[in-house]
Amino acid sequence: MYKVIRLSFVLVLAFTACLFADPAITRKINFQQERAFKHEVFRYFRYFRIQTDDVELTFDEIDNNVVFTATVNSRRNNYEEMILKTFACIGRVIIRVPDSRLNHDQLFIIPSIITVNCNIPVRRDNSYISASANNKAVAQFTNGALTAEGFLYELRGSMEGSFTGYDNTSMPSILTADVDFENLIAARLALEGKNNPRLSTVLNLASKAKYIPGVERKIEAMMLEKMKTKNAYLLFQVFGYHPEDSQLKRIGKQVFYHIQMEPGEILDTHTNDSLRYVWKGRKYPEPLNEYYRQYNLKYGIKRPGPND
């Protein structure tokens, strides 16, 4: 009788554990990938002489995003430098990930959002600044496509802190966004627009953006206006709602960045973004395929291929 009661008790415990445990299939990352990614980040921290004694690195899954958070410490007057160096170290790890050959047996995973929390010793209870960025923006800053000034400008909307300069009581919009989905859409818009003669003005300006001051902001404004008017119906079909300006700006900036690349590079980027999205158990947005299938047929536009 005692053995029966004991066995029943064990079975109840096992059933309870299974009932309240997260299903393995819903987890986007495994512990081996977490450990390998953190190891590489620490390696770059040591290379750039960032103190790692009190550094904390964590992964979280918020909505549809994998969020990687690094908590670091700075001196009183170098917190901006520390934030940029931390993002750059994480960006180097992201760039090294072999996207096209990524599978479950390999070491790395790319987080959707990177957050840096920086503790600053300026009060008795200290102060902090927190900033978040899309993985694409972090990679672009790391490889030099985005300047430090431009990257800080990008971070401004997500910054929050314990003192007035960056005090932000609301949650940064990027933390509630589906970043991987936005990246997928931005790369597809750039891919389809690359061979589109109707976008020749934008493409011509984009090719000069790196050399002519002020052109980049002008193109970003043009793309934002175009998405509000020309692509409004498409974006509504894809998202199921009309995106706000902050979301359109994030997508528009990525379209601007991608459209300066070669068609084959854009195609590779879009393929990797799409695989990362569907690996989470979701489906590629069919409205994108249907829209461009009809659009390209109507205007006789050839879709860029890997050999273009």
Provide long-range contacts, Cβ within 8 A and 24+ apart, for 295-304.
295/192, 296/192, 299/196, 299/198, 301/192, 301/195, 301/196, 301/197, 302/195, 303/191, 303/192, 303/195, 304/191, 304/194, 304/195, 304/263, 304/264, 304/266, 304/267
Q: Please tell me whether residue 116 adopts helix, strand or coil conformation.
A: strand
Contacts of 21 (CB under 8 A, 6+ apart): none
Question: Rounded to the nearest 10 degrees, what angle do helices 263-278 and 245-259 cross at?
Answer: 130
Which of 86-90, 247-251, 270-274, 292-296 is modeled with the greatest confidence? 86-90
Phi-psi region of 163 (alpha: psi -120 to 50; beta: other; left: phi over 0): beta
pLDDT of residue 304: 65
| pLDDT, tens digit (0-9, with 9 covering 90-100), for 62-109 | 888 999 999 999 987 888 999 999 999 999 999 987 543 444 445 568
Backbone angles phi, psi at 267, to 5 degrees: -65, -45
> Structure tokens of 297?
């047929």
Q: Which of 25-34, 170-179, 292-301 has the lowest mean pLDDT?
A: 25-34
Contacts of 12 (CB under 8 A, 6+ apart): none
Give me the amino acid identity at 270.
Answer: H
Contact 138, 94 (CB under 8 A): yes
| pLDDT, tens digit (0-9, with 9 covering 90-100), for 2-24 | 444 443 443 333 434 343 333 33
pLDDT of residue 217: 73
What is the chain's length? 308
pLDDT of residue 301: 85
